[in-house]
Amino acid sequence: MLHRITGAVAATAVASTALVVATEWGARTAGEKLFGATPFDLGDAAAVAALAVLGWDFIYYWNHRLDHEVRWMWAMHSVHHSSERYNLSTALRQPWGETITLYVPYSLLALIGVRPKHIMDARAINLIYQFWIHTEAVRSIGSLERVLNTPSHHRVHHGTNSEYLDRNHGSILIVWDKLFGTFEAEDAQPVYGLTTNIDTFNPVRIASHEWVEMFKDVASADTWGDRWSYLLRGPGWAYDRRNARLVAV
């Protein structure tokens, strides 16, 4: 068991490093291309750096929300939710494919004149902040809970309790969830993991299981409407639809 855990941790660390490098390259490349194509340049003022952080945070909310509401995006993002424990190592469970869904939307900040270096700084701040909230050691940070995404709010996000599903998508700020109706406070103890856990430390299985299930659903669908829905609608719809088909058979 210890050997399996050690191997899984090592694989997670390697995969996380690869993700950081790939995302860094992708975001920087896309940002520089778009910045070169826009007539706008907001310069290097402190207000621009703050705008980059705020803009990144806003885009992160919507990107993260889509990770949970679009099946093919969930197929990637489910890796991050696969741990049945909640601690700092959970933050390192990062999917290999999210470079696709990350660097393009975030580099759009370049189109309004935010320089690529400010975009990358905003990304770094986001990553650092996201790391520390993966903990059960901090129960509350007082009045800041109203504005910031905190360990408490993010524990809800990782919970499989029915009232916690698809809640609290924010990164640094929790205000986006409150504005757009996806906020839930931590009341009951969260049950971590996936709604159906896969019980493995194999990194290949962890990274691929939802893709396999998704393509099985597409292949077994009776109509093109269902096939597209298995790709583009939420995982909850897909699981309910699959179960309904099994009952009908």
- pLDDT value at position 245? 77
- pLDDT value at position 106? 72
pTM, 2 dp: 0.85
Q: CA dist 234 to 49, 71, 77, 196, 223, Å? A: 35, 5, 13, 15, 17
Contact 94, 15 (CB under 8 A): yes
**Residues paired with residue 148 on neighbouring β-strands, in sequence order:** 173
In sequence order, the 6+-apart residues with CB closer than 8 A to the CB of 203 are 8, 11, 12, 15
3-state secondary structure of 192: strand
- pLDDT value at position 12? 46
Contact 121, 106 (CB under 8 A): no
- pLDDT tens digits for range 14-39: 444 445 544 554 555 567 777 777 78
Q: What percentage of the chain exceeds 90 in pLDDT?
A: 66
Q: Which residues of the chain have pLDDT under 50?
A: 1-18, 21-22, 25
DSSP state of 148: B
